[in-house]
Amino acid sequence: MRQRLLKYLKRLVIVLVALAAIGVGVFTWLFHWPFEGDVENILTLVPEDVEFVLRCDIQDLRDTGWVQENVRDDPIYPEIDVAFRKALEQLELELQTIQTQVDRESPVSVDVASFVGDNIVAGEVCFAGNFWEHASPGNSPPQWKDLVVLKRVRGLARCISGLQHGFIRRQIQPGPGVELSVVEEGIYEFHLTRLKPLAPGQVAGPDMSRWYVTRVLDVVAVSNNKRLIQNIVGLGADDSGARSFARRPGFDIPLVPGRVSAAVNLEALQNYFLRALDHYPDLGTLRRFLPPEALVKLSGGISFSGADFVEAGGTITYLPTSQDASDVARNVYGLPQRPVSDGIARFVPAADTFAVISLRANPEYLLDKIVKAALPDSDRKLWEDNLRKNPDSGFTTLADFFQDLSTRMGNEAMVALGRMSERYDTLDFTEWFSAEPAPLPALAIMVRLGEGARQEELEAYLSEKVFLLGMEKELARVTYGNFAYSRAELRVKPLNYKYIQPCFTVVNDHLVLTTTEGYMRRILDTVRDGESGALSQDETFRVTMGALPSTAHVGIFLDIEKLTRVPPSFRLDESNPANNDLGAPGTRGFLWDRRNGWVITERDDRAEAIRVRRAESLKFPNPMNDQHRIELERRVDAHMDGWLERYPEFLEEYRQSLDRLRRLRGLGLVLGATGGEIDARAALVLRKRDR
């Protein structure tokens, strides 16, 4: 009996083993070997010739709560919420369509959304590709031309290899407008027939009409470039990764929880950066610290370490091949680093200051290459004309004057921008057409004196030479408490410089120059009162800059809240000014000061009149007679009267656009160089969302 039972058990085991073997064989033939392993390092599948790589774990990013807090619950920028919700609605619609098809055809109940979330979305992902060389800085940030997405998947998601069988492809039926085919073994093409492919020589953007898919173990790769997919298949067959991005020297792309790591070949973006500097002349000073032609590569990333904080940074390989790049390397990055959250920041008033740049640079380079480059063309020409008209000054060019002045200066400087609160807390811009100039920031330049320089000698030197910079020769000496400063008057004062009144003094071994007397006095008040009201003690400054390295060659701080601050409510009643609610002192930021200019520019009455005249002229016969022309002008005038009456509405529209930025609090950036590498670090601090 026992032997017979053993015999049956053996037969049963053999049958089970045979069935299992058949099952494994069938599964392997249909899909893949069920006991295959995983790709050890996803970077070994990234082709070596791509120009950028991004790497992260989606589940880790979700666990930080940053996306939930700042994209879904209370977006840091409203347009992010609109784009996110639109994409989410489209995804939900697609998943519902697939769910309906599965429910109709599958004998097993499957929750498609959970399957996608658990097996496809969660886990490590890598984005790589090449940049589009024709991207316009005026229209967009750098764009990709070729993109490949490598995603680790789990479970049944590996069964994508079943697409090699025609009967499975026919069962899937991607839907109208999509053609699915096999390009070669292991590579599948999704042709989006409703999208037109690029014509030869066309530069309208990347080709989005054909996408290629392949799988290497637990990694699924998708790309709009067939060559990249073919390279991935080849890398998958070669375990060494010898020709992969992982073996490229100088790039570090670790997988860190809560972080998006990145590596970028900056040489591919040099032309884009140069075009950006041409398109945005105000960024010209940035070239003095980061010359595009010297930037080689970047390794870094963005960390979402908390719901109210974003930190970004990386190491930039810097190769000073041009004269400009060599000058920066020698005169800025060749000097010792300095503290960026202390030092001169102790003298800057926190109340109105919304931006500071602190740096260490050779003083002659600072004046001749940075200050001169930042000057408007009109001011630079005025200064140079003054030098030519005064040959007795001993200077023939602005460079000569700066060279002489630099001998009295040290190599530590700070530039601060502040709001003219004493002026714009009382200016309400209640009418469309204002006689007031466009608000300018108060500017302060603070430079440590050079070794051996004496305060009295420097003040006497400036008093003697300041007329060369467009000032009156006679200066007013003003006593303010225990301090004294010199106040100058511009010989020619355009409307935009109505409230500009240059002042200078030397205090605590620092030369202080300001464009307004009010800002000079607030600086002196800060020096008198110690650090209690200084920028160095400001909470936003301390949180932002405290997250960054304490020493650097260049430090930049932007108080976004002081820039975008707006009154909590707004009312402009032209019929009864007593009902106006334009914001009390302390509720106005610098950009709100510029509200009248925004309306004039963005709701241009001249452009609106042209638009209306064109639209109305189409309602009349061609050619028009005199009565038609009179009626046309009457309609245009009536429309424009109503347009100008909408001034309060346009101001409220601008107020709301700034109020949408209320979550943005502070931004900091530091640059510090060692050898041929620049360590660039940035921090964005957010205000806690309204609960």
Q: How does pLDDT run across 56-68, given as a tens digit for each residue?
A: 888 887 877 777 7
Q: How does pLDDT run across 408-464, given as a tens digit for each residue?
A: 888 888 889 999 988 888 888 888 888 888 888 998 988 888 777 777 787 788 888
Query: How far is residue 516 CA from its own chain's centroid?
Result: 31
Sign of the CA dihedral with 610 first, then 612, 618, and 621 last: negative
| Greater model confidence, 73 or 565 | 565
282 CB-side CA count, 13 A: 0
Enter the tokens of residue 187. Answer: 């590579």
| Greater model confidence, 407 or 240 | 407
Q: How does pLDDT run across 15-48, given as a tens digit for each residue?
A: 666 766 666 566 565 566 566 667 788 888 889 8
Ordered DSSP codes for 430-482: -SSS-SSPPP--EEEEEEEEPTT--HHHHHHHHHHHGGGGTB-S--EEEEETT
Residue with tokens 């490949």: 148
Name which of 491, 534, 245, 500 is nearest 390 in CA terms. 491
Residue range 386-411: mean pLDDT, rounded: 79
**∠ at Cα 22 (20, 26), nearest 5°?**
115
202 CB-side CA count, 13 A: 9
Q: Max Cα separation, the chain?
A: 127
Q: How does pLDDT run across 286-309, given as a tens digit for each residue?
A: 777 778 888 888 888 888 877 777
**∠ at Cα 481 (478, 486), nearest 5°?**
20
Query: Which H or E run contains 239?
Result: none
How confident is the model at residue 30, as a pLDDT? Answer: 58
Helix %, strand %, coil % of the chain (to 5): 45, 25, 30
Beta-strand pair 309-318/295-306: antiparallel
Average model confidence (pLDDT) across the chain? 80
- What is the C-alpha separation between 217 and 23, in angstroms, rounded? 20
Q: Are the beta carbons of 264 and 222 closer than 8 angstroms?
A: no
Confidence of residue 635 (pLDDT cuts 50, 70, 90): very high
- What is the C-alpha separation between 383 and 527, in angstroms, rounded? 31
Q: How does pLDDT run across 596-621, given as a tens digit for each residue?
A: 999 999 999 999 999 999 999 998 88
Highest-pLDDT range among 107-111, 159-163, 203-207, 342-346? 342-346
Using DSSP, how many helices (H) and how many strands (E) does the chain show? 23, 22
Name which of 594, 589, 604 is nearest 662 in CA terms. 589
The yes-or-no verdict on residue 641 having pLDDT over 90 is: yes
Confidence of residue 108 (pLDDT cuts 50, 70, 90): very low
Q: How does pLDDT run across 505-546, given as a tens digit for each residue?
A: 988 888 898 989 999 999 999 998 877 788 988 899 998 988
The yes-or-no verdict on residue 171 having pLDDT over 60 is: yes
Q: Are the beta carbons of 365 and 583 closer than 8 angstroms?
A: no
Query: What is the Cα Rg of the chain in Å?
Result: 33
Residue range 390-409: mean pLDDT, rounded: 79
- Return phi, psi of residue 169, to 5°: -60, -40
Query: Which H or E run contains 312?
Result: strand 309-318
Q: Are the beta carbons of 347 and 531 closer than 8 angstroms?
A: no
Name the DSSP class of 292. G
Residue range 351-379: mean pLDDT, rounded: 79
Name which of 410, 286, 408, 419 is nearest 344 in CA terms. 410
How confident is the model at residue 4, as a pLDDT? Answer: 67
Percent of the chain with pLDDT over 70: 79
Burial (0-12, 13-18, 19+ Cβ within 10 Å), 271: middle
How confident is the model at residue 295, as a pLDDT? Answer: 86
Sorted by sequence, the CB contacts under 8 Å of residue 271 that are 6+ apart come out as 133
Q: Are the beta carbons of 392 and 331 closer than 8 angstroms?
A: no
112 CB-side CA count, 13 A: 15
Residue with tokens 């920031």: 441
Sorted by sequence, the CB contacts under 8 Å of residue 30 that are 6+ apart come out as 159, 162, 165, 168
Q: Are the beta carbons of 410 and 451 closer than 8 angstroms?
A: yes
Name which of 409, 590, 422, 424 is nearest 512 in CA terms. 409
Residue range 493-515: mean pLDDT, rounded: 86
The yes-or-no verdict on residue 105 having pLDDT over 60 is: no
The yes-or-no verdict on residue 556 having pLDDT over 60 is: yes
- What is the C-alpha separation between 507 and 509, in angstroms, rounded? 5
Question: Mapped to the 3 state alphabet, what secondary structure does 348-371 carry?
Answer: CECCCEEEEEEEECCHHHHHHHHH
| Range of lowest pLDDT (221-235, 275-289, 515-529) | 275-289
How confident is the model at residue 249, as a pLDDT? Answer: 79
Beta-strand pair 677-686/309-318: antiparallel
Could you give the 3-state DSSP secondary structure of residue 502?
coil
Query: Which H or E run contains 150?
Result: strand 144-152
Enter the tokens of residue 233. Answer: 């298949």
Query: Which H or E run contains 652?
Result: helix 647-659
Could you give the 3-state DSSP secondary structure of residue 201?
coil
Sorted by sequence, the CB contacts under 8 Å of residue 77 that are 6+ apart come out as 660, 661, 663, 664
Name the DSSP class of 51. S
Enter the tokens of residue 359. Answer: 């740096």
Beta-strand pair 338-339/309-318: unpaired
